[in-house]
Amino acid sequence: MSALVEQLNEDLSEVVARARVGLVQIHNGHRGAGAGAVWHPDGLIVTNAHVVQRRRPQVVLADGRTVSARLLAADPDHDLAALEVDATGLPAVTLGASRRLRPGQWVVAVGHPWGIAGAATVGVVIGLGADLPGFPAGRGEMLALSLHLRPGHSGGVVVDESGQVVGINTMMAGPDVGLAIPVEVAKRFIKDALGTP
């Protein structure tokens, strides 16, 4: 392979490594695991509301520890939830800016599809906005991505080509379009729910 492809591979593996920082598994009893991301080293975790079906889900941290989490806030309309675990010094995500994303830009999504921990998938930004035609209406602003999200991806992160979080994996729209909640929407949710940025 050419030097250019080798450079791309090197960058992609670095981006995947950065995307996995702060990635956790969220268990709800028997029904498989969703994903979540540590937003603050002192135990704040953000995921999808539909991933949290119990008030005290079990969370598997990056270091392998399983801890019990408390539900701090949930917004089913935006499909967002905030959890808290008793831990400090956790590796946390680096938040980016979804508003600056452009169609055609490269993104990587990580989660636990079909239970495969930390699996990565790559795609590009199709579009972003609240009025994406053909996609579910009334869900507010969304990122449309040309990548496949599977059960277990939900609550995991989408990062841009520098490894910064730009969205939260949520659902598929049709067979080939993945939808993510823009990170700006999640930032607003955390600010409104917890009063802190």
Question: Which one of the spans 10-18, 50-58, 83-91, 189-197 is the region binding another protein (CB under 8 A)?
Answer: 10-18
184 binds another protein (CB under 8 A): no
Stretch that binds another protein, among 35-43, 56-64, 90-98, 171-179 (CB under 8 A): 171-179
Locate the DSSP E strands across the chain: 23-27, 33-40, 44-47, 58-60, 66-75, 80-85, 106-111, 119-129, 142-145, 157-159, 165-173, 177-182
**Closest C-alpha to 187, from 197, 176, 195, 178:** 197
- 50 classed as catalytic: yes
What residues between 91 and 130 interact with another protein by CB under 8 A?
Answer: 102-106, 123-127, 129
| Alpha-carbon distances of 129 from 87, 108, 136, 149, 196, rounded to whole Å | 36, 19, 12, 19, 25
- Please, what is the minimum distance in Å from the beta carbon of residue 141 to another protein? 13
The minimum distance between CB 151 and another protein, in angstroms, equals: 20
- The answer to the question of residue 12 lying near another protein (CB under 8 A) is yes
| 154 is an active site residue | yes
Question: Does 77 participate in catalysis according to the annotation?
Answer: no
Q: What is the DSSP string of 107-162?
A: EEEEE-GGG-TTEEEEEEEEEEES--TTS-TTS-SEEEESS---TT-TT-EEE-TT
Q: Cβ closer to another protein: 23 or 125?
A: 125
Enumerate the active-site residues.
Answer: 50, 79, 154
Residues that bind another protein (CB under 8 A): 4, 7-8, 10-12, 14-15, 102-106, 123-127, 129, 131-135, 144, 146, 160-162, 174, 176-177
